[in-house]
Amino acid sequence: MSSLVEIEVEGLPTLRDKFLADWPTHIIAYSLLDSFIKRFQRKKNRCANIKIFSLNDEWKSDGTFIALMVRERENIS
């Protein structure tokens, strides 16, 4: 059975660097992860709404990931 596993912040530089292969083919994924890493380094609590997952923790071998950004909904009453 497959499951999504959250990638810890410490693993993000390793994941990001996988996208240096065949530069600049993977520039979008590299830039996205690089931006997240910089945000996490500046203020960890500011990035509580960003979660990065992989399927069955296979990102270490294939680099596949899912990034989710959750915005808090404003209470409109």
Answer whether 53's CB lies under 8 Å from 66's CB. yes
Print pLDDT tens along the chain (77 aa).
889 999 988 999 999 999 999 899 999 999 999 998 998 888 766 667 888 999 998 998 889 999 998 777 666 55
* pLDDT at res. 27: 95
Residue 7 makes CB contacts below 8 A (sequence gap 6+) with 15, 52, 53, 54, 59, 65
**Domain definitions of the chain by residue range:** 4-69
* pLDDT at res. 74: 63
For residue 63, the one-letter residue type is G
Instruction: Give me the residues paired with residue 4 across strands.
Output: 55
- In this prediction the pTM is 0.81
* pLDDT at res. 50: 85
